[in-house]
Amino acid sequence: MRSNRAKSRAVVSMAATLPMLAGALALGIPAAHAADNPGRDSLAGTKPTWATAKADKGATSNGSQVSLRVYLAGKDANGLAAYAKAVSDPNSAAYGKYLSAKQVQARFGATKAQVAAVKSWLTSTGLKVTGVSQHYVSVSGDVAAAEKAFGTQLHNYTKGAKTYRAPSKSASAPDSLNGAVLTVTGLDNAPHKANHDDQLPGPTAVFKNAGPFSSYYGSKTATSLPSAYGKKIPYAVQGYTGKQLRAAYGAGKYTGKGVRVAITDAYASPTIAFDAATYAKKHGDAGWKTGQLHQVLPDNYTNTGADECDASGWYGEETLDVEAVHAVAPAADVTYVGGASCMDDDLLDSLSKVVDNHLADIVSNSWGDIEANQTPDLAAAYDQVFQLGAVEGIGFYFSSGDNGDEVANTGVKQVDTPANSAWVTAVGGTSLAVGKGDKYLWETGWGTQKANLSADGKSWTSFPGAFTSGAGGGTSKTVAEPYYQKGVVPNALATANNAAGNRVVPDISAIADPNTGFKVGQTQTQADGSEQYSEYRIGGTSLASPVIAAVQALAQQARGGKAIGFANPSIYAKYGSKAYHDVTDNPTGSGLAVARVDFANGYDATDGLLTSVRSLGKDSSLSAVKGYDDVTGVGTPAGGYVQSFVKPKGHH
């Protein structure tokens, strides 16, 4: 998956488009019987859409090796989806009646008998069981055994310039298992990985911003540079700090005390504790208390190379997430759960650890991939974890992406995943203006166009220039419209890809534009080869997600510590109230832009400076308008948001 940092965002690649059945899977509807395969249950969505007759290169060799995960449906998949919905809906009698991790496993998990039956079936076909968790049975073996087990031939198919293995028809499991199998992953071997696509390099090499800067929005005007939109423009901010973000989003006296927040990414920064402590001290944030920052890490890491997941590139992602949560919710307990790699199976394991051990009530995830790379088998496995979390009172927050409508990036208009799941809160992004005295001025939807200074310094070349990045959003092609969006999301957006209505992203938003970004501090390799702590400005929906997670921690504290759980029903229930800033693209009525000066080499002036103008509020084909929109969702938290969770006196 990619981490959605605007340094320059990367991508979790999952693997082929989800057909509409993902909506059905999301609601826990069991697979249909395989009409062409009597005595077997079809595992819908296991044949990827790119495995077409035209792309078919013939049968995969019988002796080729496969490594598979058979996900368990548990004993009541329909009941799980129904309970997850009821417990999250403020209008339901079951609202907030969460179960413990142990109760969830007892009520919805797979039974010992189901696990034994699944293992017995798999071994009888010649596959070898390599691992068992409460969510899946992993197996390995040859193609012949896999074909026998899953009732489908495996063929080789071209996908783009490469060739991958995939089932020639949907996989199936024996009827006699009574629906114990949710899905199987690994039959296709196209890469399923999260990339982090960042608008800065990773901490392998130092990155520094050149000045001049504004200390708050508009504090320093670029008087010597050409005008834009008829006026002189301010220099980009040096990077907002926690004090400014807390003021913008109505933190008040709340600190997140008593609330647990988890963060998932791939790998783990070896300098996180030092970096987070140094950053907090330098910027007036409360110091980290002993035991306030925890790490839950795997025994071994895989796929660490630069051509695979680029492990060191993820260190900055973790650093941003940890420092942003602490800056906005300085008393919240933070647990970082690192994946063994950026591959989906490993990221799913990280999410499962949070749920199985109830490590937190709020989980921030700054990674994702394009929807076209998602496969329905994986969507089903992710949604099951999100539903189990909802039943325990755990809410998952996912960055919506940093490439706007994705057309410039992929050639196709699409949303990102897992932000497209009906069971998570998708977090979009804004450009934020915080003025003198930490006063909130305005926000626009995050979307940047860039034009460079002309050689003679008298004009901006091809102003306003090309689109560089912006908040991900739009309408899913695969996930049905969830009930909580009905009546709020405009019909034209919901029905953009399907008359019945689909999921629209995002749900809520916060600061993301790196040109009005957040300052982070991280140990990096300096130009002289030494490793030292230094600071830079960063953005992306990778910033928006931990900021919203931190605001949710403040809100949970305000409601007496009671978990908010899966938040979308309550987020939409507050739509149109003073809880939100309703964000639009041109809040001042005349175009908005900032001047930015960058080091050509990324760290010092030896190779010269690059001067550009960055226009705000121009997010590809997406627009932030009055009311709900597909850049900022319902808007950003205003002064009334955290306050709206306080129970009136005398209310129990």
Could you give the CA distance from residue 478 to residue 420 in angstroms, rounded to a whole number? 9
Could you tell me where the beta strands, DSSP code E, fall in 320-446?
333-339, 362-365, 367-370, 395-399, 416-417, 425-434, 440-445
pLDDT for position 25? 34
pLDDT for position 212? 96
Cβ(368)–Cβ(398) under 8 Å? Answer: yes
Give the three-class secondary structure for 260. strand
Question: Which positions ≥6 away from 293 have C-beta within 8 Å?
Answer: 272, 273, 276, 322, 334, 335, 336
Could you count the other beta carbons within 10 Å of the beta carbon of residue 123?
Answer: 16
pLDDT at 33 over 50: no
Q: Could you give the angle at the alpha carbon of 185 between the alpha carbons of 183 and 189, nearest 5°?
A: 150
Token pair, residue 512, equals 């993301």
- Quick one: which H or E segment has residue 51? none
Alpha-carbon dihedral sign for residues 467, 471, 476, 481: negative
Could you give the CA distance from residue 417 to residue 14 in angstroms, rounded to a whole number? 9
Partners of residue 597 on adjacent β-strands: 611
Give the three-class secondary structure for 547. helix
Peptide bond into 546 cis (omega under 30): no
The CATH number fitting domain 37-74+110-189, selected from 3.30.70, 1.10.287, 2.60.40, 3.10.450: 3.30.70
Return the axis-axis angle of helices 101-108 and 376-392, rounded to nearest 10°: 130
CATH classification (class only), 197-643: alpha beta
For residue 445, give the nearest of 633, 614, 595 by alpha carbon: 633
pLDDT at 652 over 90: no
For residue 270, give the nearest of 221, 204, 361, 211 by alpha carbon: 204
For residue 522, give the nearest of 212, 267, 313, 379 by alpha carbon: 313
Local confidence band at 651 (pLDDT 50, 70, 90 cut-offs): low
pLDDT for position 1? 56
Token pair, residue 452, equals 């460079």
**Which range among 35-39, 193-197, 226-230, 241-245 shows the weakest confidence by mean pLDDT?**
193-197
User: What separation in angstroms does the CA of 406 have from each of 87, 156, 468, 494, 495?
Assistant: 34, 28, 11, 18, 19
Cβ(536)–Cβ(520) under 8 Å? Answer: yes
pLDDT for position 63? 93
User: What separation in angstroms does the CA of 125 have from each of 47, 144, 173, 207, 410?
Assistant: 20, 9, 12, 53, 40
Cβ(596)–Cβ(611) under 8 Å? Answer: yes
Could you count the other beta carbons within 10 Å of the beta carbon of residue 611?
Answer: 17
* Mean of pLDDT values over 560-576: 97
Count, residues in the chain: 652
Q: Could you give the angle at the alpha carbon of 95 between the alpha carbons of 92 and 97, nearest 5°?
A: 135
**Matching residue, tokens 């996908």:** 159
pLDDT for position 37? 65
To the nearest whole percent, how much of the chain has pLDDT over 90? 84
pLDDT at 152 over 80: yes
Give the three-class secondary structure for 468. strand
pLDDT for position 29? 32
In this chain, the answer to whether the domains covering 37-74+110-189 and 197-643 adopt an identical fold is no
Token pair, residue 377, equals 């088998």
Could you count the other beta carbons within 10 Å of the beta carbon of residue 317?
Answer: 29
Cβ(314)–Cβ(306) under 8 Å? Answer: no
- Quick one: which H or E segment has residue 316? helix 311-328
Could you give the CA distance from residue 368 to residue 381 in angstroms, rounded to a whole number? 15
Cβ(378)–Cβ(372) under 8 Å? Answer: no
Could you give the CA distance from residue 317 to residue 473 in angstroms, rounded to a whole number? 21
Give the three-class secondary structure for 265. strand
Amino acid, res. 433? A
pLDDT at 291 over 90: yes
pLDDT for position 45? 85
* Mean of pLDDT values over 388-411: 96
Q: Could you give the angle at the alpha carbon of 487 between the alpha carbons of 482 and 491, nearest 5°?
A: 85
For the chain, give every domain's residue range: 37-74+110-189, 197-643
Could you give the CA distance from residue 638 to residue 313 in angstroms, rounded to a whole number? 33
Cβ(289)–Cβ(176) under 8 Å? Answer: no
Local confidence band at 15 (pLDDT 50, 70, 90 cut-offs): very low
**Which range among 145-154, 232-241, 516-525, 641-650 shows the weakest confidence by mean pLDDT?**
641-650
